[in-house]
Amino acid sequence: MTNTPFSLVLLFFSFFMPTLISSSLVQNPELVVQEVNRKINASSARRNLGYLSCGSGNPIDDCWRCDSNWEKNRQRLADCAIGFGKNAIGGKNGKIYVVTDASDDNPVTPKPGTLRHAVIQVEPLWIIFARDMVIKLKEELIMNSFKTIDGRGASVHIAGGPCITIQYVTNIIIHGIHIHDCKQGGNAMVRDSPRHFGWRTISDGDGVSIFGGSHVWVDHCSLSNCEDGLIDAIYGSTAITISNNYMTHHDKVMLLGHSDSYTHDKNMQVTIAFNHFGEGLVQRMPRCRLGYFHVVNNDYTHWEMYAIGGSANPTINSQGNRFVAPNNRFSKEVTKYEDAAESEWKHWNWRSEGDLMVNGAFFTKSGGGASSSYARASSLSARPSSIVGSITIGAGTLNCKKGSPC
């Protein structure tokens, strides 16, 4: 991080509301990009242009966004993660791979220059994009270990088909991508490395599916309107940070834990920080099982059923969030204890500390409060909930321009 004094303020060019793209536009990349730019230029409700110091209070953004040479120092991002996924290095120290071709014609023999060809390689790669593009995948994008997908400097949409799968691999960073309108895929052959391809059964239709993955960081993405979850982590996945994302227009937002009986998920550790949970969301922000979940400094402005839920005795540590309840008088409760009687769930460790409750929102606590469960796995310090609005104002994809702070 540069030694920029707090008194030196810089103009950020990209605090605009992420937008839901109509699925009818997914077929035509030109129209999608035009529509995104139109809505970004028209939007002023959430992200007005303004001057901010490098001391924004968001430790991830303060680590890299004030660097006007970010485009030449892209891999610096790998040093900026926080929380349980802080050791996810992605493709750090690997070659830069430039995606020049938005097609995905053959999931078994992907063409060089495509995103699929990049993510299956064995060596570490930092993957960037030559221009704005919409990538409609024919099948799941099955990633290999030590990869970063970095959308900064372009408007990149993965949309209209199956989306991203992180299965039994490690050290993945996904940053600055629009992920929306994801569909099921499968009953097809798909390549996952230069030397292997295999038969895939039907996928769920998640935006990002983490299946037995570890050291994963999803940051500054805009996600909406997928067939199943926006981001799901199951089957023993752990060491995950989900940060600075903008999520809208979706029902079951985030599932963390495969099933109540899959006990390997008791070792799951996930940090959910600095995200904006926005318009049109219904539930599961997140829905947790068995593991430890630190939900810190997020802005919850919409939910229709509940915000945070879980079953099978997860530990949930909610700190410094802002919860704005819907006007519906039946949905004021932030929490939902699922699949258990009160005599059981009252012993689960669910804590709310320093959260701001707005419009009648309330959090039902349980368990021992300041128990050793919270102390052993605190992933980062919470900032005051009163500044959550400024910490999360840049959530979602950023309109980064070369030669200027992002």
Q: Which residues are catalytic?
A: 284
Are 388 and 320 a contacting pair, CB within 8 Å? yes
**Rounded to the nearest 5 degrees, what angle is found at the Cα of 216, between the Cα atoms of 214 and 221?**
155
Tokens read off for 349: 């460790």
Alpha-carbon distance 299 to 385, whole Å?
A: 9
Report which residue type is found at 78: A
CA distance 72 to 84: 27
Residue 2's identity, in one-letter code, is: T
What is the Cα 49 distance to its own chain's centre?
24
Q: Which helix (H) or strand (E) holds 223?
A: strand 222-224
Cβ atoms of 258 and 227 closer than 8 Å:
no
- DSSP string covering 126-169, please? EEEESS-EEE--SS-EEPPSSEEEE-TTS-EEEESS--EEEES-
Closest to 143 in 3D by CA, of 237, 209, 205, 232: 209
Buried-state track 367-384, b at ≥16 Cβ within 10 A, e below 16: beeeeebbeebebbebbe
Distance CA 115, CA 99 (A): 6
Do residues 251 and 282 lie in contact, with contact meaning Cβ atoms separated by under 8 Å? yes
Give the number of other Cβ atoms within 10 Å of residue 10's Cβ. Answer: 16
Listed residue (319, 313, 213) closest to 261, CA to CA: 313
Structure tokens at 291: 């593991």
